[in-house]
C-alpha cells in the first residue's frame, strides 16, 4: 500500500524543483524528504528521480507516478471532506508591494471576500524584487507588481 505522506513529498519535490525547496513546502528537512523519496522508490522498486547535484529530473517511472500521485492526493482530500462534512477552504497567496494604495486594495479584498467566502486570501506585502522571486518559486499564487514595460512575463499588465 502506498503511503500518502510519501506521495505528498514526491509531488512537492516535483512542484518545488528540488528536495530543499520541497522540504520548506512540507515543513520538513531536506534529509527527511530525501529519506521519504528513497522509501517510496524502495516500495515501488524503481528510481523516480535522476539526481545531478541539486538538480532533479523525473525518470520515466516518476513521470508515470506523478499523475497517479496527484489524483490519489486529491481523492484523499475529497474523501475527508465528504466524510467530515466540512469543505476545505482554498487559500490564494497574494503578493503586493508595500507602496500600493492600501485604501483601494482594502476595498478590492473586501469585495473578493464577500463574493468568494470559500476562498481565504493570504496577503504578503514586500519589495517587488522579493515578491518576484517568491512568485517564481511558487510561494505566491498571484502578485501585483510594479515593473518597467517588457521586464518579464505577465498574465495581465496595464500602465500606471
For residue 124, pLDDT over 70 is answered with: yes
Q: Tell me, what's the pLDDT at 39?
A: 96
82-117: per-residue pLDDT in tens? 888 766 667 888 888 877 766 667 777 788 878 877
The answer on 67 and 9 residing in a single domain is: yes
Q: What pLDDT shows up at residue 68?
A: 95
| pLDDT value of position 77 | 84
Say if residue 64 is in the same domain as residue 120.
no
User: Where is mean pLDDT largest: 24-28, 58-62, 133-137?
Assistant: 58-62
Domain presence at residue 148 = no
User: How much is the pLDDT for 50?
Assistant: 94
Mean pLDDT is highest, among 17-21, 99-103, 136-140, for: 17-21
The whole-model pTM stands at 0.56
135 pLDDT tier (thresholds 50, 70, 90) = confident
β-bridge partners, 128: none
User: Do 111 and 60 reside in the same domain of the chain?
Assistant: no
Cα-based angle 3, 7, 9 (whole degrees, multiple of 5): 120
Tell me the C-alpha to C-alpha distance, in Å, between residue 59 and each of 6, 40, 45. Answer: 17, 14, 13
Instruction: Give pLDDT, residue 42.
Output: 97
Residue 153: inside a domain: no
* Confidence (pLDDT) at 112: 80
Q: Does the residue 158 lie in any domain?
A: no
Instruction: For residue 135, tell me if it sits in a domain.
Output: yes
Check if the beta carbon of residue 142 is closer than 8 Å to that of residue 131.
no
Whole-number pLDDT of residue 121: 80
pLDDT at 117: 74
Residues 37-70 have pLDDT tens digits of 999 999 999 999 998 877 899 999 999 999 999 9
Structural domain for 22, as ranges: 4-84
Phi-psi sector, 133: left (phi>0), alpha (psi -120 to 50), beta: alpha
**Whether residues 64 and 101 fall in one domain:** no
Amino acid at each position: 500500500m502506498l503511503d500518502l505522506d510519501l506521495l505528498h513529498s514526491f509531488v512537492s519535490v516535483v512542484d518545488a524543483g528540488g528536495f530543499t525547496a520541497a522540504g520548506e513546502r512540507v515543513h520538513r528537512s531536506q534529509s527527511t524528504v530525501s529519506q521519504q523519496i528513497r522509501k517510496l522508490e524502495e516500495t515501488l522498486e524503481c528510481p523516480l528521480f535522476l539526481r545531478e547535484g541539486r538538480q532533479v529530473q523525473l525518470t520515466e517511472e516518476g513521470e508515470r507516478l506523478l499523475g497517479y500521485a496527484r489524483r490519489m492526493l486529491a481523492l484523499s482530500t475529497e474523501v475527508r471532506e465528504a466524510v467530515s462534512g466540512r469543505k476545505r477552504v482554498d487559500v490564494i497567496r497574494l503578493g503586493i508591494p508595500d507602496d500600493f494604495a492600501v485604501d483601494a486594495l482594502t476595498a478590492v479584498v473586501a469585495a473578493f471576500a464577500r463574493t468568494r467566502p470559500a476562498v481565504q486570501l493570504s496577503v504578503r506585502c514586500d519589495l517587488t524584487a522579493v515578491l518576484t522571486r517568491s512568485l517564481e518559486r511558487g510561494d505566491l499564487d498571484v502578485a501585483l507588481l510594479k515593473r518597467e514595460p517588457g521586464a518579464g512575463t505577465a498574465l495581465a499588465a496595464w500602465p500606471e
